[in-house]
Amino acid sequence: MPISANSYVAIPPEAAQINRDLLNALGERVGRKDFLGTLAEALHPSCNFSWLVLSLREQREEMLADYSHPDKKQLNPFAPVLPRSLNLTVAEYIQDTRETLIIPDCMEYFIDMASPPIFQQSAASVIAFPLSLNNEIFASLHLGFESRPDNLYKVAAFASHFCPTVAACLGVVLSLERMRHGGFLSEVEAPPSQESEPGFETAMVFRSQAMREVIRQLGVLANLDVPVLLLGETGTGKSMIARHIHNHSLRAAGHFVRVNCPSLASSLFESEMFGHAKGSFTGATKNRIGRFELAHKGTLFLDEVAELSLDMQSKLLQVLDDSSFERVGESVPIMVDMRIVAATNVHIGEAISQGRLRGDLFHRISVYAIELPPLRQRPEDIAPLAMVLSAQSAQRTGLADLLYAPELMRALSEYHWPGNTRELNNLMTRLVIAQSVHGELRPALVKEIIDQSESYFLAEARRGPAAGGPEKGPGESPDLLESLAEIERRHIVRVLEHSGGVIAGPKGAARILGLPRSTLLHRMRKLGLSGA
């Protein structure tokens, strides 16, 4: 039976009553403190939090946080926290990611935070929601708990129903406040426009020593204002780490401009990166600011930089060396001051030796390099990441969060995650949906979904020069998984024959297949191939 998106949007009666109470409160003379007290009083019976926080973005790029208990007592009104360049707070994380954040264990899950105000109130667990008007995040709502409630994720799902009303009411309150006080707060403005990839982003949730070491290095690098190269397999979170560097740097008030290098066509490189003047070519109906200019005083993130053509690499290097460029159709040099953060999943030495990456460009963008560990090398991170990602998936879909039986956790921990956290995010969404469709997640169903994920990943990795065997027609096999396994087995056997049975090394089967050695060995064992 197909899942209807409209089947899961009904607002619980309790949430609907809260919405009505908040809207009715606007009929009275309310100020910011009054609204906070009304909000805390309305939400506490259903959410049972220890305190409530509203964090507002003020025009000087600091966060103003108002703390309120259910009894309307203001603990710390208008208390500024450290600027963005010095401390990533929960509120700033919400502002940057636009995602609801659930922190089951503050001290364990977000060890990289430098004691933001919510920690100073001895919070064990926190739920934080973005509040938006006109599709722009202007505030965040936080619920803090002195001890973790058993129904933390259910509270988060329930509270999400009244966040739009909270945002609308708060917008009215702030507008009235500005009129009464002659503009105490500036007009709500969007943060600087940013070029970011829609889709997968995940919280920096970890327990492993490997990720602690990465965060330690980032803490030193953020304010050094030197180029950084991020290395690691696909799906290890290089985009998230790049944004983390920007948000902790002295350039945090500037733009974070992401360039997806594989999608950048050579014919459009100059227009896209340099910008162009009106009338400079057919179709140029107005002036356009390029990515370099947009990144002035900010950060330019070159994602998968090794995928640029050599011609584009040459043009990029010239801009980095001269710190200037000219818009297409103009001859006036434009000076640019930007920090470069680049990322790639290729082996740098091989890319240079094969002529795919210029050595001089590599040295220019890699004053310091950080390698992000794959998920299979930090298995202790799988469980907390899975819980956070499944909660986010449940919220997005309106479905119930997963029931984590020991069998499910064991299956997640034993899988080797060739697609890393991106694959984990995708799989958790599929498990949330499967649980809703089937009523429960039996071990056989979990195994089937994980096997599908692995087959899809390996099929994608094989796509290209060496497609494995003849493609079967629509009616040849009733079981797609079996046909994929057969094709995969034949292909691995042929590659092993070609490599003389060698698995690792520059001429080994793993390198030919474009897979990590451990992934190939795992798959060979599963397919019953010798040598694994």
Strands 136-145 and 125-133: antiparallel
The pLDDT score that the predictor gives to residue 342 is 96
* Lowest-confidence segment of 275-289, 422-436, 455-469 by average pLDDT: 455-469
The pLDDT score that the predictor gives to residue 57 is 65
* Lowest-confidence segment of 325-334, 352-361, 457-466 by average pLDDT: 457-466
* pLDDT > 70: percent of the chain: 73
Two structure tokens written together for 262: 């594989």
Average pLDDT, integer, range 12-34: 70
Helix, strand, or coil here: 139? strand
The position carrying tokens 């079967």 is 472
- The helix (H) or strand (E) run that includes residue 344 is strand 339-344
Separation between Cα atoms, residue 306 and residue 342, nearest integer Å: 9
CA torsion sign for 389, 392, 397, 400 is positive
Q: Give strand ranges (E) for 42-198.
A: 51-57, 63-68, 79-80, 101-103, 125-133, 136-145
Two structure tokens written together for 13: 């009666």
Residue-wise pLDDT tens digits, 316-339: 999 999 989 888 888 788 899 999
Average pLDDT, integer, range 216-243: 91
Q: Which amino acid is at 108?
A: E
The position carrying tokens 């108002």 is 66
Strands 51-57 and 299-303: unpaired
Residue-wise pLDDT tens digits, 374-384: 999 998 888 88
Two structure tokens written together for 300: 């330019």
Closest by Cα among 85, 371, 324 to 210: 371
Split at pLDDT 50, 70, 90, the class of 167 is confident
Kindly tell me if the per-residue pLDDT of 245 is higher than 90. yes
| SS percent in the chain: helix, strand, coil, step 5 | 45, 15, 40
Kindly tell me if the per-residue pLDDT of 386 is higher than 70. yes
The pLDDT score that the predictor gives to residue 427 is 93
Total residue length of the chain = 532
Split at pLDDT 50, 70, 90, the class of 463 is low
DSSP, res 74: B
Residue-wise pLDDT tens digits, 112-147: 444 444 444 567 888 888 888 777 788 888 888 888
Say if residues 100 and 128 touch (Cβ distance below 8 Å): yes
The pLDDT score that the predictor gives to residue 455 is 78
Two structure tokens written together for 404: 């984590």
Kindly tell me if the per-residue pLDDT of 443 is higher than 80. yes
The pLDDT score that the predictor gives to residue 481 is 40
The pLDDT score that the predictor gives to residue 316 is 94
Domains of the chain: 5-180 (3.30.450.40), 209-371 (3.40.50.300), 377-527 (no CATH)
More confident residue, 489 or 9: 489
Residue-wise pLDDT tens digits, 390-426: 888 887 888 888 887 788 888 998 898 988 999 999 9
Residue-wise pLDDT tens digits, 41-89: 888 888 888 878 777 765 434 444 554 554 434 433 333 333 333 334 6
More confident residue, 520 or 467: 520
Residue-wise pLDDT tens digits, 178-192: 555 443 322 222 223
Residue-wise pLDDT tens digits, 253-309: 899 999 999 888 888 888 889 887 776 666 666 777 889 988 999 999 999 999 999
Helix, strand, or coil here: 104? coil
Say if residues 225 and 364 touch (Cβ distance below 8 Å): no
The pLDDT score that the predictor gives to residue 122 is 60
Say if residues 22 and 166 touch (Cβ distance below 8 Å): yes
- The helix (H) or strand (E) run that includes residue 491 is helix 480-498
The pLDDT score that the predictor gives to residue 308 is 93
Separation between Cα atoms, residue 511 and residue 276, nearest integer Å: 42
Say if residues 292 and 320 touch (Cβ distance below 8 Å): no
Q: Which amino acid is at 389?
A: L
Separation between Cα atoms, residue 257 and residue 273, nearest integer Å: 11
The position carrying tokens 């899961």 is 8
Q: Name the average pLDDT for the chain.
A: 75
- The helix (H) or strand (E) run that includes residue 21 is helix 13-25
Average pLDDT, integer, range 465-480: 39
Contacts 24+ apart (CB under 8 A), 497-504: 501/531, 503/531
* pLDDT > 90: percent of the chain: 21
Average pLDDT, integer, range 502-528: 76
The position carrying tokens 């429960």 is 440
